[in-house]
Structure 1
Amino acid sequence: MFDQGQPAVMFFTGDIKGDHERIAANGGTFTMPPTEVTGSTIAKLNDGCGNLVQITQLARW
């Protein structure tokens, strides 16, 4: 799944930019910075164990 860019888990947030900054400041490695897509903004990070984690902020928030 990692090689295909598929996240193993997805979490929703109300402040994706703030979460991105906080996680990156604490050593998190993002494979995709916050990126606007249809209806939401998503970011993907490496969990350090071979999985991708996606955080999502819906546009309606």
Structure 2
Amino acid sequence: MFFTDNIEADYERIAARGAEFTMPPTEVTGSTIAQLNDNCGNLVQITQLARW
């Protein structure tokens, strides 16, 4: 899992380079997450914590 301050920008940047996302940015309790396949059988999650 990697944390980011701008998940939308990172999602667009990574997807533009050909990454296969299994989950687009999705709001969940306390954060927004996205998951991508690293082509080795692992899922990598990027997370932006909600700021109150």
TM-score normalised by L of structure 2: 0.96
The superposition leaves residues 4-30 of structure 1 with CA deviations (integer Å, 9 ceiling, x where unpaired) of xxxxxx000000000000000000000
* Whole-Å separation in 1 of the counterparts to 2:13 and 2:51: 22
- 1:59: how far off? 0.4
**1:1-61 equivalence runs, <5 A:** 10-60=1-51
CA RMSD of aligned residues (A): 1.1
| Structure 1 segments of 4+ aligned residues over 2 angstroms from their partners | none
Query: Identity of paired residues, percent?
Result: 81
Structure 2 gaps of 5+ residues are none
* Whole-Å separation in 2 of the counterparts to 1:40 and 1:50: 25
Structure 1 gaps of 5+ residues are 1-9
TM-score normalised by L of structure 1: 0.82
- 1:60: how far off? 1.2
